[in-house]
Amino acid sequence: MIVLVLASIAISVFAVPGFYTSGAVANPNSPQTCVVHVKIINYAYYPEKVKVAPGCTVTWTNKDISIHTVTSVTKVFHSKIMEPGNTFSYTFNAKGIFGYFCEIHNFMMGEVVVS
């Protein structure tokens, strides 16, 4: 009986969503689940700089009241105009430093470091 109770406690602990995943942290051991989120808030990318492992996907979400873009400095990736609430994703397979900006507001800049 005690064993059964302990077993059910253990199952409920491990069944908690997110128990193993930490969301924003890139895990090179499971590239298929590697998604890093960047928010666009108040005319800025947050966080402004993210560091990921090769194979990771970065997803930008426009949480601002204005339209924006995510445009690679070296033309590696380029979102369409993102309305509030829209998302844009790009999977970084190559190592490097990828600067990007907003075509509408040139002062908005961010960076993805793949290493």
Q: Please say which residue, 26 or 79, places its beta carbon nearer to Cu ion.
A: 79
Q: Please say which residue, 67 or 76, places its beta carbon nearer to Cu ion.
A: 67
Q: What are the residues binding Cu ion (CB under 5 A)?
A: 68, 102, 104-105, 108
Residue 56 identity (one-letter amino acid): C
Give the closest residue to 101 by CA, choosing from 90, 93, 91, 112: 112
Nearest distance from C-beta of residue 68 to Cu ion, angstroms: 3
Nearest distance from C-beta of residue 22 to Cu ion, angstroms: 29
- What dihedral do alpha carbons 26, 28, 32, 35 form, nearest 10°? 10
Nearest distance from C-beta of residue 109 to Cu ion, angstroms: 10
- What phi and psi, each to the nearest 5 degrees, are found at residue 113? -105, 120
